[in-house]
Amino acid sequence: MSNQPENSRRATAYHEAGHAVMAVLLGRPIEKVTVSPGQLQAGGSRLGVCKIQKGRTKPSKNGLQDDVMILLAGMVGESLATGRYNQAGATQDLQMVRALLTANRAKNDARFQKLARRMLGKTEHLLFAPAAKQALRHVAEELSERETISGRAVRHFVEEAQNQHE
């Protein structure tokens, strides 16, 4: 079992669950999700990882937006456990958001800030919907208990929650 403090492990589980649930909602297949630092590649400093597979299970209207929302979903998911956005814990995700948006759409900081706020709002809207929130909690609980779960399990939790909220 991990030697992370319990509250840190719980926050990490919610963070990774946020990435995973958002990816499934947007049609991206998940290979696995882990909160076990020992399973990361050599030199990695992350506390967890959501490994997303190539391809899609459904078409996307805006792939760039999907990628940004998946990145932001970790911080948004973690806020369900902690009650706040942990920008320091999401540094890598936020750096990737900045790189994606500035390379593709935001040619100045004001435009970047506007786009980032809009994408954060969309991420919150999707993840705070009752079915998504329920799925996120189930994935996080499973991660806290088992440390690693399959993409199939994530998809199951999302589908189960969606069926209950129809």
Who has greater pLDDT, 46 or 149? 149
Spatial separation of the C-alpha atoms in residues 115 and 101, rounded to whole Å: 8
pLDDT of residue 4: 53
At residue 119's C-alpha, the angle toward residues 113 and 124, to 5°, is 125
Poorest-confidence range of 2-11, 29-38, 73-82, 155-164? 2-11
How distant, in Å, are the alpha carbons of 15, 47, 121 from that of 8? 10, 9, 25
Which architecture does CATH list for 6-164? Up-down Bundle (1.20)
